[in-house]
Structure 1
């Protein structure tokens, strides 16, 4: 068992682990070290407590009525000439969310840490009211990279999860499929300048994703990103 003091690099590594930013072999290596390095384990516990306290300071924000109306009017109108589907749709589901308050978002800033390879500027937690789906998205503006961690839940059988971003008056933009518990996505360059003003949403789609370029299945979680 190692009793050596913690280095700044290992402290940054502990913060990355606490934020669930490590994957695969890198995460497994840290977990193996935790069993034999008390200083590293203590650092992870300290960072987890700090991030949990920070998250608790920001109250969940239900989707406001004005946001629902704006999304309906500006973002989810069907394309010209498009036929309205009879089944469950994005627009109808979003209206239900506004009434039931089924989706909340918690956002908090994460200060860049020395030595971090991935330094998120904000994180967004998308969670359904019944907690059946819990997704954490962390964005690093330096890389233009969005890391998405599915912490609970998943798509219905035979379906896939697809992540969407909405900005201003534009239509939803697909960010990609969430095919595993941890996914790295690149934010399109045109969205990077307004990353702090986006609305993120997750829908369930047929294998391969939406065939139309817009959400076609049920939206499982959605939340506006609010500036801090």
Structure 2
């Protein structure tokens, strides 16, 4: 680990509260003159503080700390007893290492909990804040008559939805949808022949860019069964343009 990594871990321990009182006091004093340490502490505070509302306090058992301290005292006593005998004396730093491991366990547990909360926030935030894209809608009607069709398009995905309003299936006739835009040439192109239920495949516009769709003119014509035999509209047609609309339209 680099010196900065060590400093970052110290800052994290300080913010998570896993340092003992003496070490915490030293870090609090040091941050006054160490801009790098202070910046790291503030970064950890900014990173973890918003998660405080997500964590409910859980009190440890009343005898937990006492049992840990007793275990450390027992190791000290074992070391002292071994020093007066011929037995091998465990190194002094074994107890220190145990203390460090205890602190590392505390720090790691807190950090793992915080990391899990950060992940949860990152996963849930888009579901809570991201607004669904607004559809673009075209109304197909002639003069002041009730609309025959409404067409909506989700521009990012170019998903198409055709809804018959006043239009009804015609005997021995088909409805066919067309698109016209300057970059496509002077003649309209067929989007597709409407099905018996007056619908079209959702991906019928997938080859066109969203920007082109916003500029295009759309038409629906009445054609012989199965669609126009010429590749161009041959019967009466009604037209519409896409306009942005809210979800409740």
TM bucket (normalised to shorter chain) is: 0.3 to 0.5
Select the structure of larger CA radius of gyration. Answer: 2
Give the number of the structure whose residues are more often strand, by fraction.
1
Q: TM-score, normalised by structure 1?
A: 0.43
